[in-house]
Structure 1
Amino acid sequence: MSKSRPSRPLLSLVLAAGLSASAALYACPAGQSEVCLGGCICVADPDGVFGVLQEDARNVAAPALAQWLTQSRDRMLAAGVQPLPLDLRVQLQAWYPDDLLQAVRYRVGQGQDVDAASAMLQNQDVVAVTLIDVVVFRNEDDALHDLALWAHELKHVQQYRELGVDGFARQYVRNFNTLEDPAYAIQNQVSRTLHSTAARSE
């Protein structure tokens, strides 16, 4: 969802709503439950109370996130969107099927478009947000020229297609890394390919 690795934009939406989501990549020892309030720790929980509360929070957060994604996408479509620029589409055919590339739309955020998303996501460093099949970019230069960023965002479009909006939201709330890691991997792969091609042409 952004160029730099540290951000967790959609997870911030969950935290901003007063809910918590698990981002840990390990399981707590027996008799302990994971408690997340911005970060995750294992605490003694012999009765399993915290674990149940954590799962309840996820069950509330995921539908709220799915609804926000759908409504935000609809607002962007109503405001006006454009197809993926042709030169980028041709280059991205090495990584994505043509039907996905033809279906995706984008919008360059104007004032409140991206600012509202950034405020909602509690992350002012967001340079692009994928709303199902609409990518909202903070600036036009990224939308027209940043092939690696497009590759990242298109991975999310592909994930929405595979999981559905509800499934994507559930997975993001449960462990955003399972969605973000593949997106960053393809972004890095495309970036390396571009640098390698540029180095060979010098």
Structure 2
Amino acid sequence: MKNTEYLRFIDKEVLSENWGRLTRYRLEYRRRDGSWQELSRESYDHGNAVTCLLFDPETKCVLLTRQFRLPVHLNGKDPFLIESPAGLLEGAHPEDRMRAELIEETGYEVSELEHLFDVHMSPGSVTECLSFYSGTYHLNNKVGDGGGVEHEGEDIEVMHVPLQKALGMIRTGEICDAKTILLLQNLALRDYASHDG
């Protein structure tokens, strides 16, 4: 823990360390008026991650997945979330990790990926920074069945969804995953810009 001109750490306590680490921090934060305020905050760290949206220019489809998500179930929502493929970095370079995740989850191998941006998805409580990529795929890029890794509890359905339908699924709530919405809207905006002259 490093003190700075706006932050002084008092204490920390690891509350849980299983898949990730949940830590409670006591700290002093320097407010904009120069006064110091003592705060207690919890932060969850399970590492950084990467996600990617692949688009097939021939079929105009995007490659998505559907899988069970316990936290969504606990929130009383449909837990079978439609998402862009993603995975934890676990020390790997984001692009390398994404290529491996694409094969594991979807069965597709691609040669070119473009880095788009890096986003903090839940900065109030989670340390994760997510790297976003895009790329092109074709049906003949399939090298395996996908579906994820069974011993990790993954049971992933692979979906080829027309881009315009996927955008409509955001409006209906069928797609409600933040990373996927960002990638779909980015693709739609880039497509719009390319046709706007």
**TM-score, normalised via structure 1 length:** 0.26
* Greater Rg by CA: 2
Greater helix proportion: 1
